[in-house]
A and B are shown apart, each in its own frame.
Chain A
Amino acid sequence: MHGTEPAIDPATPILSVNNIEVIYDHVILVLKGVSLTVPQGGITALLGANGAGKTTTLKAISNLLHAERGEVTKGSIVFEGNEVQALSPNDLVRRGCIQVMEGRHCFGHLTVEDNLMTGAFTRRDGKAAIRADLDLVYEYFPRLKVRRSSLAGYTSGGEQQMTAIGRALMSRPKMILLDEPSMGLAPQLVEEIFEIVKKLNEGQGVSFLLAEQNTNVALRFAKYGYILESGRIVLDGEASALRENEDVKEFYLGVAGEGRKSFKDVKHYKRRKRWLA
């Protein structure tokens, strides 16, 4: 089961990451050859513990690494046939690939509505179309409509997460890189957020790459999953298959089969790389 290649048609992935290596500050090697693909209209989960490299992977894709002195030194990232490294974050958003950052990152001193409107920065299709999309966002997140004129800094964590997702939607994305949407939220809210992700995926055809620590929820909503461990993909497969996988159950879902295990039985994954095609 470990070695299965993506069963989804690989001919038209919206995003493909090929064996990338990321180095911070010229010395710290964080990603050691990560490859993954997101199919058109798919929800793909990127799972792993703290520090596994999920956020770095997403930032490499959205080209935000430079702001943190990170650099993609090997491999390639292709979004809709375009090499990402040659594009600025601004170009990427214009082309439909936007990241919702970990920890929401709303503009605290701007109102909720102003926050949403900043998402439309790259658009050139006129006020009416932007207005229509704002109404659409309010339809998906009725709570934001109620809070539209409060400063985002004073809204609740759930509302901020909705603001951040809504802000991304305002750019008319084809793909959203969603980083830890469940962070710091009550389980009920997490469920609500993921339901909306699903609705956006089905209703608007937005593809998602979802970095999550909450493996349980992520695997219920995603169609395909990758598991990242210290900068390498160690396991990938259909979400349903991953949910049944014994190792995933034990390490990430916290369902141990038969009592406590001895430390010597704990398995560490060996280096596995998927080379370019």
Chain B
Amino acid sequence: MNLVEGIFVKPFQDMFGAPDFLIQVLWEGLVAGVLYALIALGFVLIYKSSRIFNFAQGIMVVFAALTLVGLYEKGVPALLALPLTLVVMFLLAVAIERVVLRPLVNQPDIILFMATIGITLFLIGFGEIIFGGENKVMITEQLFIPTGSFTFEPFGGFVSIEQKDLTAVVGAVLLVAGLILFLNKSKMGRAIRALGDDHQAALSVGISLSTIWVLVWFIAGVIALATGIVWGARAGVSFALEVIAFKALPVLMLGGLESVPGAIIGGLAIGILEKLFEIYWGQPLLGGNTETWFAFVFALIVLLFRPQGLFGEKIIERV
């Protein structure tokens, strides 16, 4: 009886009993969700345009953050280090296209997947040699990211919102809005979507594979940098950050590998749900620490009912 009550009654009593705390929890979940969505977006873009499941997306987050901080530590002013890091990510995209993708074009998917594992290992080693393997602190203040916090008191309670989280959310929203605009309105964006739809036809109308691939990997690099800055500001910059990329897997299962809106909504949903579950069910009933596995179990359950994910690309079939 206690258990049933603990599952079905008490959490909701708690939620409505302390709405200010609920808002705080939702906000924390939203911030985490935004990051998951960003990482998933990097996966989706690359998968859509080249059918490659990019295992290296997580390490690209670390590598981008590491380059940024590393350059700063080597004496480059922070505001110069940022564009320089973008240049590095662009060069990385060019190198990956030249050295890895181009020679492997038309190989089976699994070989390309293995190649991205190779890229992962390379980036770990390369990053360590250049910038060292010890943990670093994100240069939040030097990049003029505000660090204070807003507090306000709804329903006679108390909610605190950290300014850097707010910056992260606003920044992510702008980044995603820009990306969607780019995909839908620009010539290159159209070509990326075309390539995702029909590879052969895209080739036949003269869409250049190498240009698009460099572009897509560069965009993934930019997304990685944004994620790296935000996550680095919360948890520090270390290779352990790579683990958060695995959080993108349930997001992808949920959102579908090919859907941009799916990645965004899936990311937000997982971020918020796992926080809610942890606070209201996990801690009182399961002893806490449910955030490490909740997303995977949740995705598994969704998969049982919708194997294509919640937003998997609709297959258009004429009858």
Contacts and interface: CB of A to CB of B under 8 A. Distances in A.
Interface string A84-109: 00001110111000111100011111
B88 interface: no
Contacts of A122: 206
Nearest to A114: B190
A121 to B, nearest CB: 5
Interface residues of A, number: 37
Nearest to B188: A121
B61 to A, nearest CB: 29
A78 interface: no
Interface stretch (B126-134, B145-153, B197-205): B197-205
Interface in A153-188: 153-154, 156-157, 167-168, 171
Contacts of B297: none
Interface stretch (A61-69, A131-139, A240-248, A254-262): A61-69
B153 to A, nearest CB: 47
A109 B193 contact: yes
B206 A171 contact: yes
A117 B190 contact: yes
Contacts of B202: 107, 118
Given A66-B106, A109-B316, A90 B207 contact: yes
B194 interface: yes
B74 interface: no
Contacts of A167: 205
A151 interface: yes
A101 B199 CA distance: 12
A29 to B, nearest CB: 20
Interface string B282-319: 00000000000000000000000000000001001010
A119 interface: yes
Given A67-B106, A69-B106, A151-B316, A118 B204 contact: no
A67 B195 CA distance: 14
A185 to B, nearest CB: 13
B208 A90 contact: yes
Interface residues of B, number: 23
A156 B203 CA distance: 23
A154 B197 contact: no
A52 interface: no
Contacts of B193: 107, 109-110, 114
Contacts of B200: 64, 67, 101, 105
B268 interface: no
A221 B43 CA distance: 49
A153 B316 contact: yes
Nearest to A164: B201
Contacts of A94: 206
A89 B206 contact: yes
Interface of A: 62, 64, 66-67, 69, 88-90, 92-94, 98-101, 105-110, 114-115, 117-122, 151, 153-154, 156-157, 167-168, 171
27 contacts: A67-B203, A88-B208, A90-B206, A90-B207, A92-B206, A94-B206, A98-B205, A101-B200, A101-B201, A105-B200, A106-B198, A107-B198, A107-B201, A109-B316, A110-B190, A110-B194, A114-B190, A114-B193, A117-B187, A117-B190, A118-B202, A118-B205, A118-B207, A120-B187, A151-B316, A167-B205, A171-B206
Given A90-B208, A117-B187, 17 more contacts: A66-B105, A89-B206, A94-B206, A98-B204, A98-B205, A99-B204, A106-B198, A106-B201, A109-B197, A109-B313, A109-B316, A114-B194, A118-B191, A119-B205, A121-B205, A153-B316, A154-B318
